[in-house]
């Protein structure tokens, strides 16, 4: 069974801390056998979601298209003022375009959630917000999520992280997304 995991996150700044965290989680999904697609940085610069506007930019149409086909998702957001960044939240609002699908929104899909922030309070509240959004979109947050305090953990340009336990946690999140998709696929075909 071929699986695809979509990673959504980061900030407008190319190669941000949250984008680096996303890439490590997607590395875990790849190691577990999935192909991955990262939607980060400029890919997230979308018009404000408006349900009354039916035309989509190419970037917005691509986001909806890859989410429609995704077996699992990893979401990573920087914590801005204690919650999900506007950039990530606006991208997630486009999931509304999937409301009339056979499996609406993110129904039945595992979603790994990671928050990065310059402090524990913003990281934890952002992770909680991401998990709540996943529930609202009918997805299944993976058992393991990560709240990362970037004042204590550094992501290097080469993709390494200052704390090997953090790298392991991020990879495990990606692996859990794949394992859930595999388990779900096995039960659907049984």
Please state at what angle helix 164-189 crosses helix 17-31, rounded to 10 degrees: 50
Report the pLDDT value the prediction gives residue 187, as an integer from 0 to 100: 55
Mean pLDDT of 42-62: 95
Name the pLDDT band for 164 (thresholds 50, 70, 90).
very high
CA distance 15 to 40: 9
CA–CA separation, 160 vs 155, rounded Å?
Answer: 6
Chain centroid to CA 116 = 12
Q: Which CATH class is domain 4-40+58-189?
A: alpha beta
The residue ranges of every structural domain in the chain are 4-40+58-189
Q: What is the pTM assigned to this prediction?
A: 0.94
**Closest-CA residue to 167 (of 24, 27, 33, 26):** 24
**Is the pLDDT assigned to residue 38 strictly greater than 60?**
yes
Whether the per-residue pLDDT at 161 is higher than 90: the answer is yes
Question: In the chain, count of helices (H) and strands (E)?
Answer: 5, 7
What's 107-153 look like in SS3?
CCCEEEEEEEECCHHHHHHHHHHHHHHHHHCCCEECCCCEEEECCCC
The token duo for 103 is 């499996």
What per-residue string of b and e applies to 92-110 under the rule 16 or more CB within 10 Å gives b?
A: bebbebbeeeeeebbeebb
Answer for the pair 64, 94: CB distance below 8 angstroms, yes or no: yes
Per the CB < 8 A criterion, the answer to whether 18 and 146 are in contact is no
Structure tokens at 12: 């407008």
Tell me if residue 79 falls in helix, strand or coil.
strand
What pLDDT, on a 0 to 100 scale, did the predictor assign at position 188? 53
């Amino acid at each position: 069974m071929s699986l695809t995991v979509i990673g959504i996150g980061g900030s407008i700044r190319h190669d941000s801390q949250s984008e680096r965290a996303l890439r490590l989680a997607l590395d875990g999904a790849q190691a577990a056998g999935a192909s991955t697609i990262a939607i980060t940085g400029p890919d997230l610069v979308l018009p404000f979601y408006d349900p009354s506007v039916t035309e989509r930019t190419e970037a917005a149409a691509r986001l909806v298209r890859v989410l429609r086909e995704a077996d699992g998702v990893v979401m990573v957001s920087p914590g801005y003022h204690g919650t999900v960044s506007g950039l990530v939240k606006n991208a997630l609002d486009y999931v509304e375009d999937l409301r009339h699908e056979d499996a609406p929104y993110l129904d039945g899909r595992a979603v790994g959630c990671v928050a990065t922030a310059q402090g524990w309070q913003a990281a934890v509240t952002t992770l909680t917000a991401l998990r709540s959004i996943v529930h609202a979109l009918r997805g299944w947050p993976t058992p393991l999520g990560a709240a990362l305090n970037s004042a204590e953990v550094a992501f290097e340009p080469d993709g390494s992280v200052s704390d090997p336990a953090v790298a392991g946690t991020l990879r495990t999140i990606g692996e859990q997304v794949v394992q859930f998709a595999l388990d779900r696929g096995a039960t659907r075909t049984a």
